[in-house]
Chain A
Amino acid sequence: MFDRILQEAPEFLTVENLVFLAEAAGRTLGMTLIGCSVGMVLGLLIAVLRQSRARALLPLRAVVILYVETFRRIPFLVIIFIVLFVIEPLVPGVSLLGIATVAVCLLSTAFLSEIVRAGLEAVPRQQVEGARTLNFNELQTLVKVILPQAWRVILPPAAAFVVMFIKDTSLASQIGVIELTFAGKMLVNRGFSPVLGFGAILASYFLLSYPLSRLAAALEKRLASP
């Protein structure tokens, strides 16, 4: 087997193939980072909304809870197909990558909103009462008091989620997005040995997720002291 890998290696390591792999890795990373960034922002909004007690926001809160509870329970692949069949007729010419990215946003928003909510709830009520009596309004309380303390609780599970999600984006290959997993299949179809083709994919996933884990660990360490 190793003979065959060594024999194929010069043919495999062409600029063309490396660019192909890099583009695929770019799509995988892009879907993950865009999806999770959007998910973080929307997740934060949802978490804050779910904490609010305002009566006027009750209908919106109900919709949001329904969304979060539903989307956390649907397999990612199913979400991808739902997005595909809903969006494709509405937006002609939309790219498959775009569709997959929207699916990532939908799923990561649901999960990250729960992670953020747990973080917000970990900040003792007394901190909020202290802020209220000093005349902080809701936004000031959130930005100056709650979030700086909630971050430390939010970051570890959120980072773990993002790193894990790099792998889950492989499901986008099912609708034909040429991300890393699909690229591996294509390389094998072009005649390279599966060990070589998917070995390269394995290395690429590692190169994407390991630095992210390290970055998260470093951030976590920095946040550990106030």
Chain B
Amino acid sequence: MHHLEIHNLSSAYGSHQILRGVTLEADRGEVISLIGPSGSGKSTLLRVLIGLTPPTDGQVFVAGQPVDYMSRKSLRALRNRMSIVFQQYNLFQNMTVMRNVTVAPVEIRRRPRAEAERDARAWLEKVGMAHKHDAYPENLSGGQQQRVAIARALAMNPEILLLDEVTSALDPERVNEVLDTIRSLTSEGITMVIVSHEMAFVREVSTRVAMMDEGRIVEYGSPAQIFDAPREQRTRDFVSKILRH
């Protein structure tokens, strides 16, 4: 049984079809990267997976259980196993770093505060942000905010972590600190779905790479296949364009 299974998933915005029948599966602990041009549906796929954009067709299974995106109960259960990190971090501006990381565990999951804070400190340590636990997001750099956002997602103990272009909004110098953080997570056994334009990074950390175009998965295979010996012309064009600079 696959950990995450996506069957024929479609989504439309009005009459505009954004996902056109995406099928994908990931085993536990795999790191799947989605690559492809802007507007190919990569980010939308993540948004549909976590229930922020409704699917119009298709099915998603987590550990063999179907997700019902119309049911609040099913969505709650899904989000207890799946977390997302956004391109724009989306940290709560009215809360300190520590509270950003603990607010959901304490106030939504009702964990004891001391315990949640101990865990939060460990995660913040892991992303190198423990010294900033008292700071507010607006006083942090983009890279620092993004690392806190990663700690916040991890504090929910997700089995599946979605990363949506997490380095796209960052200064070039800040990109590596975030990539290093993600790299250090690949040994945690969390299944990850990553949307990224950092091709060297994708190639290094991914177990499999999906090439997307116009809302479809054009090719799905090992990083070596996608980057060195793509079978599809569309993948070949995209990869050669990306790797040229």
Contacts and interface: CB of A to CB of B under 8 A. Distances in A.
Contacts of B88: 126
A149 interface: yes
Q: Across the A-B interface, give the 9 residue pairs with the lowest CB-CB distance, nearest first.
A: A130-B90, A134-B104, A148-B94, A126-B90, A135-B79, A226-B136, A135-B108, A149-B94, A133-B84
A116 B193 CA distance: 39
Contacts of B86: 126, 129-130
Interface in B84-127: 84, 86, 88, 90-95, 103-104, 107-109
Nearest to A136: B108
* Contact-size category for B: 20 to 34
A132 interface: yes
Q: Is the interface of B mostly helix, strand, loop or mixed?
A: loop
Interface in A94-133: 126-127, 129-133
B2 interface: no
B108 A127 contact: no
A133 B52 contact: yes
B52 A129 contact: yes
B52 A134 contact: no
A53 B103 CA distance: 26
Interface of A: 126-127, 129-136, 140, 144-145, 148-149, 226
Contact of A226 (B94, B103, B108, B156): B94
A140 B84 contact: no
B76 A132 contact: no
Contacts of A148: 94
A182 B79 CA distance: 62
Given A134-B104, A226-B93, 9 more contacts: A126-B90, A130-B86, A130-B90, A133-B50, A134-B83, A134-B156, A149-B93, A226-B94, A226-B136
